[in-house]
Structure 1
Amino acid sequence: MDLPEDDEELVNCVVSGRVPSYSLESKLGDCFRAAKIRREAVQRLTGRSVEGLPLEGFDYDSILGQCCEMPVGYVQIPVGIAGPLLLNGCEYSVPMATTEGCLVASTNRGCKAIYSSGGATCVLIRDAMTRAPVVRFSSAKRATELKFFLEDPLNFDTLSLVFNKSSRFARLQGIQCAIAGKNLYIRFSCSTGDAMGMNMVSKGVQNVLDFLQNDFPDMDVIGISGGDALLRMPGNYCSDKKPAAINWIEGRGKSVVCEAVITGDVVSKDPAQNIESSHCITMMEAVNDGKDLHISVTMPSIEVGTVGGGTQLASQSACLSLLGVKGASKESPGSNPALLATIVAGSVLAGELSLMSAISAGQLVKSHMKYNRSSRDITKISS
């Protein structure tokens, strides 16, 4: 149907169902107008107002076909700055978007303690994105044959060649297999340049699966975990967007360890009191005859990128630029997201240090009661 030029008529068309809400951008060729019309239609259909949700002041063209579908506005989150964070000899002002009072102030306090003690050291120990399809055979014996084929070093170069065709930057690093009955779970690990790279690795996995069908035509692909149209049942061996032991043990994305020694004059009390309260991910111990505190965080699955996704949006791009990691590095591909991961770990180290200090000093509840409670009378705020 021909679209009416009047916005009011367009809203009525969306409300009545004559014009699908999802088609407004393509039919109008104006992303802001599409969001405005959709927003009004939603309010009429629900009988509820979204007046407090901003509409103007956002570039809706920048998210067309990516980031968000059928937008009706955007959410504003305050951004504070913690730092300077002294990490590997360099200073970083760390932007933090949050609505939790005390969080930026606490991280800033941790940054100050780290700075006063000579800074933190951070090391990237692994860098590999993963994707894990699950395939099924008629017998466990047949599944085992594919397992042996994939794990044979003599076949790795051929599989790498097939996998790497998916991208200029994707490079296969390893294949790990696990069997459960007739099912074979195949975990592919690859480097992804400056992107986080989950789409990149999914394409590479699809290439390999297509290649394997030639020698294993009886292989039934059950799903690419988080992947494409083949997805019917996730393999869950990645493991994507969920806590999993395999990601702690093997890592996913950037695996980083960050440490600092907080000197006694900064700690100002017996640091050994903190030890029992934190171990595994965050570890603390008294060093130098109990005078100083050694603190470390080990983060095996930091999934970050500096290109792709929402990194091109104005707010996100500005924060990446502030950290000096915006976009791709021409001199050293992959170095920007690696640096971003270390900054994340360093910021976590600062936050953990301040948190444990607040707990040991009995300041945690007091600070939240003081700074994390609104002084406005909510009964006077219109709904």
Structure 2
Amino acid sequence: MTRAPVVRFGTAKRAAELKFFLENPDNFVSLSLMFNRSSRFGRLQNIKCAIAGKNLYMRFCCSTGDAMGMNMVSKGVQNVMDFLQDEFPDMDVIGISSNYCSDKKPAAVNWIEGRGKSVVCEAIIKGDVVRKVLKTNVEALVELNMLKNLTGSAMAGALGGFNAHASNIVSAVFIATGQDPAQNIESSHCITMMEAVNDGKDIHVSVTMPSIEVGTVGGGTQLASQSACLNLLGVKGASKEVPGANARLLATIVAGSVLAGELSLMSALATGQLVKSHMKYNRSSKDMV
């Protein structure tokens, strides 16, 4: 998880001096000690900085165990900011969050650097399953994926939206398991890829999702229905064996569900069934006057 405060100095030179201080490996131990004392599970991994004039943006990246960890990270960052204030007394802390994090907004930094859990899910679907179950064929799926999810999204200038409807699946799983629904925005970053394999007989499908933000403790995970869903999936609470394992498993479940949803919708589109299905199952049969 990440949190990125912004600070201001009197000159760009002073902002650069703090940047060099934060990026100096010799100082990382001291910064980590300040950060890590805020939590049993929060651990500072790295700090990436960016300067805009005399303002410095600092993106703290941290491990958070089985929690999604926004509050955990914020507490740790506050400890570091208090420590830095002594070292750089002329530093003016403008805000603990600067949008360089970036939370609940589409942002290239999450698409490139990742935020939360980064997952790749893949499957090889046999050609006869494509024909008999999905009612289409390998060649049609591969072509549609290229022209829709890849080329079409590029034509639209998409940011992390190289998929058919990942956000539908992410939103559903998030609400069911007590995640923050607003984080569907960056958690739905996904590129869906399809390729004919085994001499064109079968299809390799994958979804790559670099910023799935989930936790199995804290927040909405404690609600009765959401807790029951987490229990059903076998990821409820904190992992006693390996801290963070339950949250990582939940992220893989999200990605696997997205892959299934991508296959379903893409097959419906390839066979021209999307509108017919909506009209059959999602519309009133009564005539409108």
Residue 143 of structure 2 is matched in structure 1 by 273
Code of the aligned partner of 1:342: T
Residue 237 of structure 2 is matched in structure 1 by 327
Out of 182, 187, 196, the position equivalent to 2:68 is 196
Code of the aligned partner of 1:291: K
Structure 1: which 5+ residue stretches go unaligned?
A: 1-128, 226-234, 379-383
Distance in 2 (alpha carbons) for counterparts of 1:278 and 1:356: 10
Distance in 2 (alpha carbons) for counterparts of 1:373 and 1:340: 34
User: 1:145-169: per-residue Cα shift (whole Å, max 9, x none)?
Assistant: 0000000011111100000011000
SS of the counterpart of 2:240? coil
Residue 79 of structure 1 is matched in structure 2 by none
Distance in 2 (alpha carbons) for counterparts of 1:275 and 1:327: 37
Q: Does 1:283 align with 2:151?
A: no
Asked if structure 2 preserves the Cα contact closer than 8 Å seen for 1:278 and 1:284, the reply is no
Asked if structure 2 preserves the Cα contact closer than 8 Å seen for 1:194 and 1:305, the reply is yes
Distance in 1 (alpha carbons) for counterparts of 2:287 and 2:119: 44
Q: Give the structure with the larger helix fraction.
A: 2
Distance in 1 (alpha carbons) for counterparts of 2:2 and 2:283: 41
Residue 252 of structure 1 is matched in structure 2 by 115
Distance in 1 (alpha carbons) for counterparts of 2:108 and 2:6: 18
Distance in 2 (alpha carbons) for counterparts of 1:285 and 1:310: 38
By how many angstroms is 1:374 displaced? 4.4
Asked if structure 2 preserves the Cα contact closer than 8 Å seen for 1:263 and 1:293, the reply is yes
Distance in 1 (alpha carbons) for counterparts of 2:10 and 2:144: 55
Out of 325, 332, 342, the position equivalent to 2:252 is 342
Q: Does 1:218 align with 2:86?
A: no
Q: What does 1:145-224 align with in structure 2 at a 5 Å threshold? A: 145-224=17-96
Q: Specify which structure has the bigger relative contact order, considering alpha-carbon pairs within 8 angstroms and separated by 6 or more residues.
A: 2
SS of the counterpart of 2:123? strand
By how many angstroms is 1:375 displaced? 5.6
Residue 353 of structure 1 is matched in structure 2 by 263
SS of the counterpart of 1:278? helix
User: 1:220-246: per-residue Cα shift (whole Å, max 9, x none)?
Assistant: 001011xxxxxxxxx110100011000
Structure 2: which 5+ residue stretches go unaligned?
A: 132-136, 151-161, 163-190
By how many angstroms is 1:289 displaced? 1.7
Asked if structure 2 preserves the Cα contact closer than 8 Å seen for 1:247 and 1:300, the reply is yes
By how many angstroms is 1:275 displaced? 3.4
Distance in 1 (alpha carbons) for counterparts of 2:110 and 2:8: 23
Distance 1:377 1:208, change over 3 A: farther
Distance in 1 (alpha carbons) for counterparts of 2:272 and 2:199: 25
- Superposed CA RMSD in Å reads 1.6
Out of 215, 225, 228, the position equivalent to 1:315 is 225
Larger Rg: 1
Asked if structure 1 preserves the Cα contact closer than 8 Å seen for 2:110 and 2:210, the reply is yes
By how many angstroms is 1:285 displaced? 1.4
Code of the aligned partner of 1:239: S
Code of the aligned partner of 2:149: S
Count of matched residue pairs: 242
Code of the aligned partner of 1:318: A
Out of 124, 128, 142, the position equivalent to 1:261 is 124
Distance in 1 (alpha carbons) for counterparts of 2:193 and 2:14: 45
Distance 1:317 1:375, change over 3 A: farther
Code of the aligned partner of 1:166: S
Distance in 1 (alpha carbons) for counterparts of 2:4 and 2:285: 50
Distance in 2 (alpha carbons) for counterparts of 1:349 and 1:161: 40
